[in-house]
């Protein structure tokens, strides 16, 4: 710039060199100095920007590397967790299958035991220590036993009378009036009289008849108990005097039973048991409100049956 001005000044005449040119020269020098300072400042800023750009690039590369490493770690952890979860689920499924098989096996054994127990109960088996058998006051067995005892007593009296006749015959004593027909047929060496033989046959026939009546009556009793048990679904046992225990065929536990007590006027009252405590709503509706024991027992039967059906 200075050279240009000097060449310009050299071309001018000395007379034309004025202070105005000096002023312009100073202004140009100031502009040049400012421009140089600005260039230096811009170069410094450019260098700083380049340095910051390099630093940012390094940081970006570092972040990218960390991100890539994190992604790989997450993928590895996800694979590991997935593998562990699958293995754990497989173990749990196996345990569930084993438990289900065990439950089915125990349920089958329980059903078999319940069927055996029910069959034994239907066959009339019972524990004489815990269970009392209910007998009718007037039943064929009692009547047959009484008749049999009367026949046996009569036969014993007849045998005693005949024994006396035989003893008297042996001793040669007098016979009782009315026994002359028997006296003629009796002797120490002769077999028993026809009357004795007939009486013995009659006694055997009566004993056989009583035995058959007893067997028939026992069969009828068993049939009656079986029919009641099948039709009503309840087994009735006498626990103590005037107390009756009812056990449903559908109970889950044999201890789940209902206990009724007979009052002096013939009414039945439900006693408190562990099982009856679970039937509050049914008791309130059917016993207290409707005052119907059959309706209550039917409701209990339906409830127990529905539980087995759901299971």
Residue 272 carries which DSSP code?
A: P
Query: Does some domain include residue 117?
Result: no
Query: Does some domain include residue 95?
Result: no
Query: Does some domain include residue 120?
Result: no
199 and 160 part of one domain? yes
Q: Please state, in angstroms and rounded to a whole number, the distance separating the CA atoms of residues 291 and 303.
A: 19
Residues 170 and 188: beta-carbon distance below 8 Å: yes
Residue that terminates a domain, selected from 171, 203, 231: 231
213 and 285 part of one domain? no
Query: Does some domain include residue 286?
Result: yes
202 and 240 part of one domain? no
225 and 243 part of one domain? no
Residue that terminates a domain, selected from 209, 231, 253: 231
162 and 145 part of one domain? yes
207 and 265 part of one domain? no
Q: Please state, in angstroms and rounded to a whole number, the distance separating the CA atoms of residues 230 and 57.
A: 92
Residue that terminates a domain, selected from 183, 198, 231: 231
Q: Please state, in angstroms and rounded to a whole number, the distance separating the CA atoms of residues 301 and 249.
A: 8
Neighbour-count burial for 6-37, b at 16+ CB within 10 Å, e otherwise: eeeeeeeeeeeeeeeeeeebeeeeeeeeeeee
Start-to-end Cα distance in the chain: 109
Query: Does some domain include residue 190?
Result: yes
pLDDT per residue as tens, the chain (311 positions): 566 656 655 555 454 556 776 777 788 788 888 888 877 888 887 777 778 777 777 877 777 787 787 778 777 766 666 666 777 777 777 777 777 777 777 667 666 666 666 655 555 555 555 555 555 555 666 676 677 677 777 777 777 777 776 666 666 544 444 444 444 444 444 455 666 677 777 778 877 877 888 888 788 878 887 788 888 899 888 888 889 899 999 888 888 899 999 988 888 999 999 999 999 999 999 999 999 999 999 999 999 998 886 55
268 and 221 part of one domain? no
Query: Does some domain include residue 223?
Result: yes
193 and 218 part of one domain? yes
248 and 225 part of one domain? no
Query: Does some domain include residue 179?
Result: yes
pLDDT at residue number 298: 93
Structural domains counted in the chain: 3
Q: Please state, in angstroms and rounded to a whole number, the distance separating the CA atoms of residues 230 and 224.
A: 10
224 and 247 part of one domain? no
226 and 278 part of one domain? no
Domain containing 164: what range?
Answer: 141-231
For 145, counting Cβ atoms within 10 Å of its Cβ (0-12 exposed, 13-18 middle, 19+ buried), the class is: middle
DSSP character string of 50-67:
HHHHHHHHHHHHHHHHHH
Helix (H) or strand (E) holding 301: helix 293-310
Closest Cα partner for 126 from 271, 273, 259, 225? 225
Query: Does some domain include residue 173?
Result: yes
19 and 69 part of one domain? yes
């Amino acid at each position: 710039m200075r050279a240009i001005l000097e060449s310009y000044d050299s071309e001018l005449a000395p007379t034309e060199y004025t202070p105005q040119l000096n002023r312009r020269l100073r202004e140009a020098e100031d502009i040049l100095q400012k421009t140089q300072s600005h260039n230096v400042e811009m170069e410094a800023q450019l260098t700083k920007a380049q340095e910051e750009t390099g630093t940012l690039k390094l940081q970006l590369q570092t972040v990218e590397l960390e991100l890539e490493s994190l992604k790989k770690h997450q993928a590895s952890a996800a694979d590991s967790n997935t593998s562990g979860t699958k293995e754990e689920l497989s173990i749990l499924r196996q345990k569930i299958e084993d438990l289900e098989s065990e439950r089915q096996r125990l349920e089958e054994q329980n059903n078999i035991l319940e069927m055996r127990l029910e069959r034994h109960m239907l066959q009339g088996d019972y524990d004489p220590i815990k269970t009392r058998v209910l007998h009718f006051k007037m039943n064929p067995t009692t009547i047959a036993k009484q008749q049999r005892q009367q026949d046996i007593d009569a036969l014993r009296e007849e045998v005693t009378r005949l024994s006396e006749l035989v003893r008297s015959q042996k001793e040669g004593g007098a016979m009782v009036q009315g026994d002359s027909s028997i006296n003629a047929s009796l002797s120490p060496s002769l077999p028993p009289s026809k009357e004795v033989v007939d009486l013995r046959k009659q006694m055997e026939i009566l004993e056989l008849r009583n035995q058959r009546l007893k067997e028939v009556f026992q069969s009828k009793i068993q049939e009656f108990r079986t029919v009641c048990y099948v039709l009503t679904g309840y087994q009735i046992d006498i626990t103590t005097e005037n107390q009756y225990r009812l056990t449903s065929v559908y109970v889950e536990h044999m201890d789940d039973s209902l206990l009724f007590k007979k009052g002096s006027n013939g009414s039945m009252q439900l006693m408190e048991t562990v099982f009856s405590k679970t039937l509050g709503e049914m008791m309130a509706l059917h016993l207290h409100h409707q005052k119907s024991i059959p309706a209550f027992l039917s409701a209990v039967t339906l409830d127990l049956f529905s539980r087995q059906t759901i299971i």
